[in-house]
Amino acid sequence: MIPEVGHYALILGFAFALLGGTVPVVGLIKKDSYLTRYAWPLSYGAFLFIAIAIALLAYSFATDDFSVAYIAHHSNTQLPLFFKIAAVWGGHEGSFLFWLFSLSGWAAAVAYCYRKRDEQFIARVLVTLAILTAVFSLFLLMVSNPFLRMLPAPLEGRDLNPMLQDVGLIFHPPMLYLGYVGFAVSFAFAIAALTTKSTTIPWARWSRPWTGASWVLLTGGIALGSWWAYYELGWGGWWFWDPVENASLMPWLTGTALMHSLIITEHRKALTSWTLLLAIFTFSLSLLGTFIVRSGVLTSVHAFAVDPTRGVSLLAILGVLLIVSLVLFALNADRFTRPVKFGFLSKEATFLAGNSLLAVATLTILLGTFYPMVFQALDLGNISVGAPYFNTLFVPLSFLFFIFMGFGVLIRWHRVSTDDLITRALAPMSVSIVLGVAFSVWFERGINLIVCLSFITAIWISLTAIQAFYFRRTASRDRKLGLASLRSLAMVIAHCGVAVTIIGAALVSHYSVETSNKMGPGDALNLSGYQFSYRETELIIGPNYTAEQANIEVSKDGKFEAMILPQRRHYTVRTMNMSEPGIKWYWKGDIYITLAEKLNRTDYAVRIQYKPYVRWLWIGSIMMMLGGALAVFARFKLKATQLSEKEALVPATIVMWK
C-alpha cells in the first residue's frame, strides 16, 4: 500500500511540474499576472509530492518491504538501519528519484527566495526548472520506476553491495547530486535572461549565490568520493580518471569557470556570452554525467547496471535541452551589450584566459573519455585511454591555469599598464619561485620538476590571495567586514585550499613508498622510519559479515604510536570478500595497511604503504568549500543590512589600490 501511495505522489509531482511548466508560460505570453504567479505554488507542490515519494520509499526500505523490486535488490533484513535508508540512492532508480528530489527542492528554494518580487523574470526561471522536473519525472515513471512491485515477494533481499556499505554512501551521492542539480538553477537563470526582454535585470548578480552553493556541494561530493575510494578500495588511490569520475570533474571545471565568469558579468557586463554558455554547458555536462553512469556506454567500476534504453532516453533529453538552449543563445545573445571595454592586461582578460583554459581542460577530458568508444565504433580496434593520457595533458594545463589564477586576483579592472602589473606581481612571484624551489629541494635530494612547479604555483596562489585581501582591507574604510571584504576573505580561504590540494597531490603522487611482505603473528618490519609488529590475528563478527583482523602495532623510535587493524571481511549474503584497509593518519602522511590473501594457516600477504600528505588533498577541498560557503553566506547575511545597489555593483577594487 505504502509504495503505491509513494508511486502516486510521484505522479502528482509530475503533474504539478507539468502544470508549472505550462500555465505560467500562458500567463507570460498573455501578460496575465494571475496565471504567471501560479509558478510559485506549483513549484512548492511539485517539491512536496516528490518529497513524499522519496520519504515513502525510504520508509519502505526501513520496514523491509521486499515486495518492491528495487528494495529486494538492494537491501536485506540484516542491513543496519542507516544503510537501509542510504540504500534509497544505492541503485539507479532510487538515485534518480533523489536527483529529481534535489531538482524540485532547488526550484522550491528559488521560489521561496524570490517570492515577493521580480515576477516576470523569476517566473521564467521557475518555468524552466518546472519543465526539467516534468521531463525527468516522466523519464523516471516510464523507464526507471523505483516503486515497481515484485510478486511473489521474496523473504529476504539481495543485500546492498558490500562495497557500498559504508558511511561514504550516506553522504557522497546526496552531496554530489545536490551539486549537479544545483547547476540547473544557473541554467534556468541563463535561459530566463535569454528570453526576457528587460535589460536591467541583474540576473548575473542573482545567479551567483545559487551557482556558488552548487559549486560548494559538487566540490564536497567529488572530494567525498575521492576520500571514500581511498579508504575503501584498498590500494590507496584517490583519483583514477575513470569515466564516471571524469563525468563529475567536467561540470566542476566549467562550474568553477562559471562562478568566476559571473563576477565579470555582474560588475562589467562583459564576458556575457561566456557566462551564458558556461551556465548551459555546466548543467548539460551534469546530465551527460548521469547518462554515462547509467547507460553502460562506457566501462567503469562505478557504473550502475547497464541499460541502453535508459541511456538513449537520457541522451535524447540532453540533446533536446542543448539544442533549445543553444538556439535561444544564438538568437538572443547579441542583446547583451558590452558597454565597458577592456585591454589585454586587465582582470577581465585574465578571467577570459582562465575560462578558456578550463574549457580546454574540460574538452580534453571529454575527448579522452569518449575516444575509445568512437574508436571501436569506427572498427579501428580496441584501445584504452587512462591515467597516463589524462595526467600528461591535464597537469600542464593546470599549471598554466594556476599562474593565471594568481594574476587574476592581483590585476585591476579595465586596463592596467605593464609597469603597474610588474610592481604588483613581482614580490609574490619571486618569493614563490624561491620558496618553491627551496621546499622541493628540502623534500627530496634531487629536484623533481612537477613537485617543484607544484610548490611554486601553490605558494604563488596563496600569496596573491593574501595580498589581495590585505589591499582590500586597507582600502576599505570600514572597520567591520563589509560584503567586499567578506568575499575577499572567502576568496583567500578557497584559493589557499587549492594550494593545499596541489601540494597534497604532488607529494603523495611522487613520494609514496610501500612494501609487500608475508607476515604472521610475531613478524616485524620497518618502513619510512616506523616499525611494524604483527601482534595477533583476531576473528570479528560484524552485523552482516565475519572478518579476520590483523592487529598490527606501529611504533616510532621505540615509542608506541598506534594499533592498525586491517581486515579481510566475508559478507554472507552476497558471498563477497573484501579487504578493509587499516589507516593511521597524521597531518604529515598516512600509514596504510592492507591484508591481501591468506597464504597459510597463520600468515598473510601484508601490504604497508606510507602516503605523505595525502590528507592535504581533502583538507584543501574542505577549505575550498568553506571559502565558497562564506561567499554565499556573505551575500545573504548582508542582504539584511540594507545592501544598496551601488555597493553591489561597484567593486571595491576600483576604489583604491596602493
Partner 1 sequence: MVNSIVGRNWTLLVLAFFISWWGGIVPVHAQNTQVFVAADTDLIESVETFQFRFAADQKRAIALSKSLRCPQCQNQNLIESNSPVAKDLRLKVYQMVNEGKSDQEIVEYMTSRFGDFVLYKPKLEPSTYLLWWGPILLFILFGCIAYFSIRKQI
Partner 2 sequence: MKITRFLPLVFVLLAGSIIVLAMRAESTAVISPLQGQSIPEFSLASLENEQLTMTETSLTGEVQLLNVWASWCGVCKSEHPLLMDLAQQDKVRVIGLNYRDDRLAALKELQQSGNPYQAVIFDPKGSLAIDLGVYGTPESYLIDQHGVIRHRYVGALTRQIWEREFAPILKQLSVSGSLRESSDG
> For binding to partner 2 (CB under 8 A), which residues are involved?
273, 277, 297, 308, 311-312, 315, 319, 322-323, 326-327, 329-331, 333-334, 370, 373-374, 376-379, 381-382
DSSP label at residue 149: B
Angle between helices 347-377 and 272-295 (to 10 degrees): 30
344 binds partner 1 (CB under 8 A): yes
Residue 622 CA, distance from chain mean position? 12
- 599 counts as binding partner 1 under rule CB under 8 A: yes
Tracing cell 579481510 back to the chain, one arrives at: 568
Contact between 367 and partner 1 (CB under 8 A)? yes
152 versus 339: smaller Cβ distance to partner 1: 339
Residue type, 561: E
Residue 249 interacting partner from partner 2, partner 1, none (CB closer than 5 to 8 Å by kind): none
Size of residue set near partner 1 by CB under 8 A: 51
Instruction: Say if residues 530 and 556 touch (Cβ distance below 8 Å).
Output: yes
Least distance in Å: CB of 373 to partner 2?
5
Q: In angstroms, give the least distance from the CB of 480 to partner 2.
A: 44
Q: Residue 516 interacts with partner 1 (CB under 8 A)?
A: yes
Phi and psi at residue 582, to the nearest 5°: -105, 130
Q: How far is the CB of 300 from partner 2 (least distance, A)?
A: 16
Instruction: Please report, as residue ranges, which positions from 385 to 414 form the binding site for partner 1 (by CB under 8 A).
Output: 385-389, 392-393, 397
- Min separation Cβ 141 and partner 1, Å: 30
Tally Cβ neighbours within 10 Å of residue 349.
22
- Nearest one of 325, 327, 326, 337 to 124, comparing CA atoms: 325
With CB under 8 A as the contact rule, the residue among 78, 120, 364, 546 that binds partner 1 is 364
Q: Which does 597 bind (CB under 5 to 8 A by kind): partner 2, partner 1, none?
A: partner 1
Q: In this structure, are residues 90 and 164 in contact, taking their beta carbons and an 8 Å threshold?
A: yes
Is residue 303 at the binding interface for partner 1, with CB under 8 A as the rule? yes
Choose among 7, 44, 295: nearest CA to 149: 7
Return the one option of partner 2, partner 1, none that residue 82 interacts with (CB less than 5 to 8 A, by type).
none
**35 near partner 1 (CB under 8 A):** no
Of the pair 33, 299, the CB lying nearest partner 2 is at 299
Strand-pair partners of 524: 533
Nearer to partner 1, 205 or 598 (CB): 598
Q: Is 93 in the site for partner 1 (CB under 8 A)?
A: no
Query: Does residue 417 belong to the site contacting partner 1 (CB under 8 A)?
Result: no
**Is 425 or 576 the residue whose CB approaches partner 1 more closely?**
576
Rounded CA-CA distance 38/44 in Å is: 10
Q: Are the CB atoms for 219 and 628 separated by under 8 Å?
A: yes
CA angle 403, 407, 413 (to 5 degrees): 150
- Taking the C-alpha atoms of residue 446 and residue 299, their distance in angstroms, rounded to an integer, is 39
Nearer to partner 1, 64 or 603 (CB): 603
Q: 103 touches which of partner 2, partner 1, none (CB within 5 to 8 A by kind)?
A: none
- Residues 527-554 as b or e (16 or more Cβ within 10 Å = b): bbebbbbbeebeeeeeebbebbbbbbbb
Q: Does 360 bind partner 1 (CB under 8 A)?
A: yes
Which of 607, 611, 615, 635 touches partner 1 by CB under 8 A? 607
CB atoms within 10 A of CB 176: 25
- Single-letter amino acid code for the residue at 467: Q
Q: How far is the CB of 384 from partner 2 (least distance, A)?
A: 13
In angstroms, the CA 578 to CA 163 distance is: 8
Nearer to partner 2, 254 or 594 (CB): 254
As given in the structure block, the three cell numbers for residue 517 are 611482505
- Under a CB-based contact definition with an 8 Å cutoff, are residues 350 and 408 in contact? yes
Q: Which stretch binds partner 1 (CB under 8 A): 124-132, 256-264, 367-375, 419-427?
A: 367-375
Judged by CB under 8 A, which stretch of 312-320, 325-333, 365-373, 556-564 contacts partner 1? 365-373
Task: Identify whether the C-beta of residue 307 lies closer than 8 Å to the C-beta of residue 297.
Answer: no
C-beta of 318: minimal distance to partner 2 in Å? 8
Q: Are 606 and 550 in contact (CB under 8 A)?
A: yes
Beta partners for 611? 590
Angle ∠(560,564,567) on CA atoms, nearest 5: 160
Could you tell me the smallest distance in angstroms from the CB atom of residue 618 to partner 2? 33
In 3D, which of 41, 38, 42 has the Cα closest to residue 15? 42
Chain residues in the site for partner 1 (CB under 8 A): 233, 235, 237, 240, 242-243, 299-301, 303, 338, 341-344, 349, 352-353, 356-357, 359-360, 363-364, 367-368, 371, 375, 380-389, 392-393, 397, 514, 516-518, 596-597, 599-600, 605, 607
